[in-house]
């Protein structure tokens, strides 16, 4: 066997674990799902508070607080989306 081929096989075998799934990152999907559910719950609570305020059943202070929480959640979601798009575009610019 050629030494270069042997080096290539050894390098490939050494790099192979890098392509395997990392069990520590398996919980990432669960954390993302939980974050999305929290975001949806925040939006739902704000909508319910808005409806209650329109019918006179809610305190205006509670409405303002709910709207502020919703605004913060939406701004955070937009920032995360922008970072994901930016990372994707950076990957596309990488030479192959």
Verdict on whether the full-model pTM lies above 0.75: no
**Interval 15-42: pLDDT, tens:** 766 666 666 666 777 888 898 899 999 9
Give the per-residue pLDDT at 32. 83
- pLDDT bin (cut points 50, 70, 90) of residue 96 is confident
Give the per-residue pLDDT at 26. 64
Q: Assign residue 56 a region: left if phi > 0, alpha if psi is -120 to 50, beta otherwise?
A: left
| C-alpha–C-alpha distance, residues 35 and 13, integer Å | 37
**Interval 11-22: pLDDT, tens:** 777 776 666 666
Higher pLDDT, 46 or 17: 46
């Amino acid at each position: 066997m050629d030494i270069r081929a042997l080096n290539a096989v050894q390098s490939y075998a050494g790099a192979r674990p890098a392509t395997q799934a990392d069990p520590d990152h398996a919980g990432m999907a669960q954390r993302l799902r939980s974050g999305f559910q929290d975001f949806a719950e925040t939006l739902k609570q704000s909508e319910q508070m808005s409806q209650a305020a329109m019918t006179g059943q809610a305190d205006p202070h509670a409405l303002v607080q709910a709207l502020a929480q919703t605004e913060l959640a939406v701004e955070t979601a937009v920032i995360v989306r922008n970072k994901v798009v930016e990372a994707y575009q950076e990957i596309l610019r990488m030479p192959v």
